[in-house]
Structure 1
Amino acid sequence: MSSEPEFVFELRVCQWAERNWPPGGDRDPDTAVLVARQLGTKYRRWDSIVVEADRAALRERAAFGAEGLNSDLLGVVRHAPADWAWYRDALPDPEYPWQYVREAVHEAADRGLIERRRGDRGRIELRRHQPYPEWIERVVAIENKPDLDRSAARDLAPQLERDVALGLADEVWVATARAGGTVEPALLEDVPVEAGILTVDPTANAPAGEGAVDVAWNPRTLAPEEPGTRITERPTGSGRDASAARFEYADPAWKGDKRREVAERAYGRGWRAYADTMRPDCRHFRLRTETGDALPWCDEKACHQTAGECAGSCPEFSPEPPTWRQRDWPIDGGPGKAIKRLLDAQRRRRRPGL
């Protein structure tokens, strides 16, 4: 079993996926890969998300900025017309008050995503700069469980079954730490057969690529373009529970919108945003790269710290001296800000056109 926190294991998986996805195969040169963590929908949040994108279309997506587009902005930029039109004529009925759509139109114009003007009778009109590209090819969900024993696998199974039934992602995987080079039987017995299993060697050198991760079980490709089933309630399975499961149907259009929203958040956020919830301005914080991975490291505690541990409330927290923040390049503003700039630059390099 793994001795490192799930947070650190998750970062390892994200970094490996960014470099080596897909597992067990070669990446199409026309396909780009974006990786993010802790993203999902109102009903489900995944540990890691891999978005396979058309490289040319992804470059066109860069024209809409480095930030992700939320559902309101997507509704505007995707349906903005080529010629000037009143926004109520141009955009589909939102099924909620138009005033919120109008606010989204103003926000999109303020961000330079569309053009806006006052037309006849003071009506707000809009037109697009360019069409929003359909850049998403596949969305893959990964659950990271470094210490996956039989009990944990049994607890995880209902979540994976919901993922498979809904079919929002093209594939669902479970990543776990490699135990002595073998796969725990509990993984194959309790995890749904539709979910793939990756075994990860946390001690492997990151540039080793495929050698650090093995495929123990290949997933079944799901059908996001077809209707899915959202399980809202299920019986406990005890001898006295004879209740029926409750579910709702998810139509392909809803699934397509949610996939696009998840992919947009992955585009804007990536997996390196962990620095925003930690304290890189602590003098003990650094990125450790001895194994080829760039992971947060605490010199004071001599370990890879979690986001919960690395906070201002940490008893070992020691802010950078003000004189550090007055230095010039390459640590202009202090080492903490330099680390954030480095991580942001690495994220942007994975997004062609930015």
Structure 2
Amino acid sequence: MYPGATEFGFELLVCRWAETSWPPEASDGPESDAAVLVSRQLGTRRRRWDTIVVECDPAGLAARARFGERELDSDLLHVVRNAPEEWAWYRDALPHPGYPWRYVRAAVHRAAGRGVVEKRRRGNRIEIRRVAPYPDWVRRIVAIENKPDLDASAARALSEQLTRDVETALADEVWVATHATGRCVEPALLEDIPVDVGILAFSFDADAPGDGWADASVEWHPSEVTPADAERDEDRRTTRLELAERAYGAGWRSYHETMRPDCRHFELRRFGRALVPHCAAKARPQTAAECAGSCADFEPEPPVWRTDGWPIEGGPGKGLQALLHGRREWVRERTTDGEKRVD
């Protein structure tokens, strides 16, 4: 059964396409050498996007790996980005954060515990030293809103949000992804969407070979909305870096952390080059909202599943979680070394 009939399933397919095929082939610019990180349901306190594509400098992304697989939150970034090359008292080495130093001290201890800075005590002072320079690894951030059925009412609901995205310019580029209809003029082109926002029309075919399983047609090219003073806007740079760090740490496959793979009905099925969740009880792909402990069809895995060839600490659900976690890890490694891996 086609998983893209719901917005959740469509979003997963778009994310998988972006991992393997970004940027769109019809882009006007030269072919990009950027490494790509993809995340879903990510944003700021005021705005959350369906899909985020972080275009990275390959060498910078490889250098970022020195600081571990987990994200660096805003407090840790303050420490890591400003840690000195030689030993220094942390209050001399770091700029004033705008909040009490005791929170910085706690962040220093956390950073040292994770091995992203070195720490030592000299008398009653805590000194720090960097383990490596924090790299400039983020080139561009692209935001995508996924609306499989972009009718007039959906476009009206999106228009205000997209206009705000263009005006705030936290992302360098904004797109809307929708289903292709095959008409001479895609209906999305006739809807009330800001002119600076690009439009991608998708067709998916699970039986097509290789990358043919997903076809993304650029119906409208987006405008670059990066402000002219972007390099001097430290608040914008910091917010974007925090967003990129969250994408680095989470990845889009994190849906298995909010759904219930420990249910006996939870399955993963291949669609093209994507692995998407499927509910055997409902006999169809489920949404993230449906797949919860409150679901009437939820049944825990039988205990015998956890002893018959599976690790004692978990059954097939743990195996699915490990599989998706492992896919997230090799995607990060693949983008770091610049290779395209087919799975």
Taking a change above 3 Å as real, the CA distance of residues 343 and 14 of structure 1, as seen in their structure-2 partners, is: same
Post-superposition shift, 1:227?
5.6
Counterpart of 1:87 in structure 2 is 90
CA contact (8 A) 2:50 2:146 kept: yes
Q: Give the letter for the 1:114 counterpart.
A: V
Match of 1:345 among 317, 320, 326: 326
**Matches of 2:81 and 2:71 in 1, distance apart?**
14
Cα pair 1:109 1:116 within 8 Å, conserved:
yes
Counterpart among 191, 216, 223 of residue 213 in structure 1:
216
Structure 2 Cα separation of the partners of residues 49 and 331 of structure 1: 37
Q: Counterpart in 2 of 1:20?
A: 21
Equivalent in the alignment of 2:7: 6
Contact residue 4 and residue 11 of structure 2 kept, 8 A: no
Q: 1:219 to 1:116 in 2, by over 3 A?
A: same
Superposed counterparts of 1:289-300, under 5 Å: 289-300=270-281
Paired AA for residue 264 in structure 1: E
- Residues 152-231 of structure 1: pairs in structure 2 closer than 5 A: 152-185=154-187, 187-203=189-205, 205=207, 207-209=210-212, 212-224=215-227, 226=229
The 3 A distance-change label for structure 1 pair 304 and 256 is: same
Within the alignment, does 1:324 sit opposite 2:305 as a pair? yes
Q: Which ranges of structure 2 fall in alignment gaps of 5 or more residues? A: 338-343
The answer to whether the Cα contact below 8 Å between 2:173 and 2:222 also exists between their aligned partners in 1 is yes
- What is the CA–CA distance in structure 2 between the aligned matches of 1:193 and 1:307, rounded to whole Å? 32
- Counterpart position of 1:135: 137
Match of 2:244 in 1: 263
Q: Which sits farther off after the overlay, 70-79 or 181-190?
A: 181-190
2:269 paired residue among 288, 298, 301 = 288
Measured after TM superposition, the shift of residue 86 of structure 1 is 0.8
Q: 1:116 to 1:12 in 2, by over 3 A?
A: same
1:315 aligns with 2:288: no
1:333 aligns with 2:295: no
Alignment of 1:304 onto 2:285: yes
CA shift, 1:208, in A, is 3.3
Q: After superposition, what is the alpha-carbon deviation per residue over 1:144-168, rounded to whole angstroms, capped at 9, x for unaligned?
A: 1112111211121111111111111
* Alignment partners' CA distance in 2, 1:36 and 1:322: 34
SS in 1 for 2:332: coil
* Deviation for aligned residue 1:326: 2.2
Match of 1:65 in 2: 68
CA pair 222-338 structure 1, distance change in 2 beyond 3 A:
same
Match of 1:36 in 2: 39
With over 3 angstroms needed to count, the CA separation of the structure-2 counterparts of 1:210 and 1:220, relative to structure 1, is farther
Write the deviation string for residues 89-146 of structure 1: whole angstroms up to 9, x where unpaired: 11111111111111111110111110111124x1111001111111111110000111
Say whether the 8 Å CA contact 2:71–2:246 is kept in structure 1.
yes
Query: Relative to 1, partners in 2 of residues 1:290 and 1:170: Cα closer, same or farther, differing over 3 Å?
Result: closer
Cα offset, 1:67, TM superposition = 0.6
Equivalent residues in 2 for 1:231-270 (5 A)? 252-270=233-251
Which amino acid is 1:318 matched to? E
Runs of 4+ in 1 over 3 A off after TM superposition: 25-30, 180-189, 202-211, 327-332
Amino acid at match of 2:261: P
> Given that residues 198 and 215 in structure 1 are in contact (C-alpha distance below 8 angstroms), is that contact kept between their aligned partners in structure 2?
yes
Question: Deviations for 1:28-78, whole angstroms, at most 9, x for unmatched residues?
Answer: 574211100011111211110000111121111111111111111001000
- The answer as to whether partners of 2:42 and 2:52 remain within 8 angstroms in 1 is yes
* Cα displacement string for residues 252-274 of structure 1 (whole angstroms, at most 9, x for unaligned residues): 21110011000000000000000
Cα RMSD of the aligned pairs, angstroms, is: 2.4
- Quick one: distance in 2 between partners of 1:331 and 1:164? 51
- The answer for the alignment partner of 1:235 in structure 2 is none
Go from structure 1 to structure 2 and tell me whether the alpha carbon gap of 1:105 and 1:188 turns closer, same or farther (over 3 Å shift): farther
Work out the percentage of aligned pairs sharing the same amino acid: 57
Instruction: List per-residue Cα deviations over 1:233-286 (Å, max 9, x = no partner).
Output: xxxxxxxxxxxxxxxxxx721110011000000000000000001111112111
- The answer as to whether partners of 1:283 and 1:319 remain within 8 angstroms in 2 is yes
**Shift, 1:184, TM fit:** 4.2
Name which of structure 1's ranges 314-323 and 40-49 shifts more when overlaid on structure 2.
314-323
CA contact (8 A) 1:168 1:224 kept: no
CA contact (8 A) 2:51 2:143 kept: yes
